[in-house]
Amino acid sequence: MKAVQVRKAYDLVTAEVKKPVLSKDDEVLVKVKRVGICGSDMHIYHGTNPLATLPRVIGHEVTGQVEVVGANVQSLKPGDHVVIEPISYCGSCYACRKGRPNVCAKLSVFGVHEDGGMREYIVLPERQLHAVSKDLPWEEAVMAEPYTIGAQAVWRGQVEKGDTVLIQGAGPIGICVLKMAKLAGAAVMMTDLNNERLAFAKENGADAVVNVQAEHVAERVHEWTGNEGANVVIDAVCLPETFALSIEAVSPAGHVVVLGFDERAAQISQLPITKKEVTITGSRLQTNQFPKVVELLNGGLVHNGLVTHTFSVDDVQYAFQFIKEHPDQVRKAVITFD
In the chain, the number of structural domains is 2
Looking at the structure, do residues 53 and 159 belong to the same domain, yes or no?
no
User: Is position 245 within any domain?
Assistant: yes
**118 within domain boundaries:** yes
Check pLDDT > 70 for residue 48: yes
Q: Would residue 234 count as lying in a domain?
A: yes
Identify the pLDDT of residue 7: 95
Q: How confident is the model at residue 244 (pLDDT cuts 50, 70, 90)?
A: very high
**Please, are residues 181 and 165 in contact by the beta-carbon 8 Å criterion?**
yes
Q: Can you give the pLDDT at residue 50?
A: 85
Q: Mean per-residue pLDDT for 62-72?
A: 98
For residue 330, is it within any domain?
yes
| Structural domain includes residue 210 | yes
pLDDT at residue 241 above 80? yes
pLDDT at 221: 98
pLDDT mean over 287-303: 94
For residue 250, which phi and psi values (nearest 5 degrees)?
-75, 150
Residue 135 burial by Cβ neighbours in a 10 Å radius (0-12, 13-18, 19+)? exposed
169 pLDDT above the threshold of 80: yes
- Indicate the Cα dihedral angle 198, 202, 208, 213, nearest 10°: 10
Which pLDDT score, from 0 to 100, does residue 335 have? 98
* pLDDT digit string, tens, across residues 216-230: 999 999 999 999 999
**Residue-range definition of the domain harbouring residue 65:** 2-143+304-336
Quick: pLDDT tens for 303-314: 768 999 999 999
Longest dimension (CA), the chain: 61
Give phi and psi for 162, each to the nearest 5. 90, -10
Q: Which amino acid is at 206?
A: A
Distance CA 37, CA 326 (A): 14
Q: Output the average pLDDT for the chain.
A: 96
> For the range 290-294, what are the long-range contacts, defined as Cβ-Cβ under 8 Å and sequence gap of 24 or more?
290/83, 290/85, 290/130, 290/144, 290/148, 291/130, 292/151, 293/144, 293/147, 293/148, 293/151, 294/83, 294/130, 294/131, 294/132, 294/144
Residues 17 and 126 in one domain: yes
**Amino acid at residue number 198:** L
Dihedral angle, C-alpha 102, 140, 331, 204, nearest 10 °: -90
Closest CA to 168 of 246, 91, 93, 98: 246
* Same domain flag for 162 and 272: yes
What confidence score (pLDDT) does residue 304 get?
67
137 and 89 inside one domain: yes
Task: Express each pLDDT in 174-196 by its tens digit.
Answer: 999 999 999 999 999 999 999 99
pLDDT tens digit sequence for 111-132: 999 999 999 999 999 999 999 9
Cα distance between residue 105 and residue 95, in whole Å: 7
**C-alpha span between 251 and 231 (Å, rounded):** 5
Do 52 and 130 fall into the same domain? Answer: yes
Using CB atoms within 10 Å of the CB of residue 249, give its burial: 0 to 12 exposed, 13 to 18 middle, 19+ buried: buried
pLDDT of residue 77: 98
Q: Is the peptide bond before 55 cis (omega within 30 degrees of 0)?
A: yes
Phi, psi of 54 (to 5 degrees): -120, 150
Q: Which pLDDT score, from 0 to 100, does residue 242 have?
A: 97
Mark whether 37 and 165 lie in a shared domain. no
Query: Which residues of 144-241 form beta strands (DSSP E)?
Result: 164-168, 187-192, 208-211, 230-235
- Examine the pLDDT at 84 and tell me if it is beyond 70: yes
Q: Is residue 110 part of a domain?
A: yes
HSE (side-chain half, CA atoms, 13 Å) at 23: 5
Do the domain assignments include residue 47?
yes
Residue 32 is classified by DSSP as E
Task: State whether 36 and 124 are in the same domain.
Answer: yes
Tell me, what CATH number does 60's domain have? 3.90.180.10
Question: Of the ranges 194-203, 243-252, 300-309, which one carries the lowest mean pLDDT score?
Answer: 300-309
